[in-house]
Amino acid sequence: MRKYVVMGPPGSGKGTQARMLCHDLGLAHISVGAIFRWHVANHTRLGARVRRVMAEGRLVDDETVNRVVRERLDLHDWNHGFVIDGFPRNRAQAEFFLERYDVDAVVLLELPDEEVRRRVRARRRCARCGRDHNLVTRPPRAPGRCDACGGELVVREDDTPEAVEARLRDHHAAFGPVLELFRGKERVLEVDGRPDPATVQHGIRDGLGLPPYRD
């Protein structure tokens, strides 16, 4: 059983790296942001509540987030373990999490603010399968279409310049306290998030003592 948390600023590749880490290790990928986006896209009651908050780049309240994470992990569809990305995002969430679950390591993707802004400006998400693309570093093979499923590529509602600044502010405010909590209890692996995804994944696996990534 392997349990990892992936943390980092917006655009640092949390989703991409978590997906690559799960790919051949049989781990469940749990993305709180993706769960919320599913609720928004499917017009659920929860989706209606969080839509505006998300679009403005603000954080959803802790009670809702913690409930969503608990319900997701209560499904117990993670026999080999899980990788959770985008959570915890503040001290209250980290305390909630650490009281209930033990993790093997926290992977910290580091990216300078300027690079965050640059990446987010170029980010496009598939409206159908949710896969992220980058128009500069990894342009789609067919313009405007997802490489994985052919769905339409769109700008995320929370990737506007204002929303990105709000998310960066939240990230910097919460990061220190969350990290401090984790450092006391779990292994924290710091990885440079600037290289291409395969190189970053290699660094993560090397640092965690895991077998190399196989596509």
| Footprint on this chain of ligand AMP (rule: CB under 6 A) | 10, 32-33, 36, 53-54, 57-60, 65, 86-87, 89, 93, 158, 167
Residue type at position 186: E
**Residues 14, 8: contact at Cβ < 8 Å?**
yes
14 as an active site residue: the answer is yes
Alpha-carbon distance of 26 to 11, in angstroms, equals 25
Q: Which is nearer to ligand AMP, 89 or 119 (CB)?
A: 89
Q: Which is nearer to ligand AMP, 18 or 27 (CB)?
A: 18
Q: CB atoms < 10 A from the CB of 33, how many?
A: 19
Q: Which is nearer to ligand AMP, 130 or 140 (CB)?
A: 130
The one catalytic residue among 14, 19, 37, 119: 14
Alpha-carbon distance of 72 to 57, in angstroms, equals 23
Alpha-carbon distance of 13 to 6, in angstroms, equals 9
Spatial neighbors of 214 by CB under 8 A, at least 6 apart, are: 23, 24
121 as an active site residue: the answer is no
Query: Taking the complex as a whole, how short is the minimal distance between the CB of residue 203 and ligand AMP, in angstroms?
Result: 21
Q: Which single residue brings its beta carbon nearest to ligand AMP?
A: 33
Query: Taking the complex as a whole, how short is the minimal distance between the CB of residue 165 and ligand AMP, in angstroms?
Result: 12
Active-site annotation, residues: 14, 89, 123, 156, 167
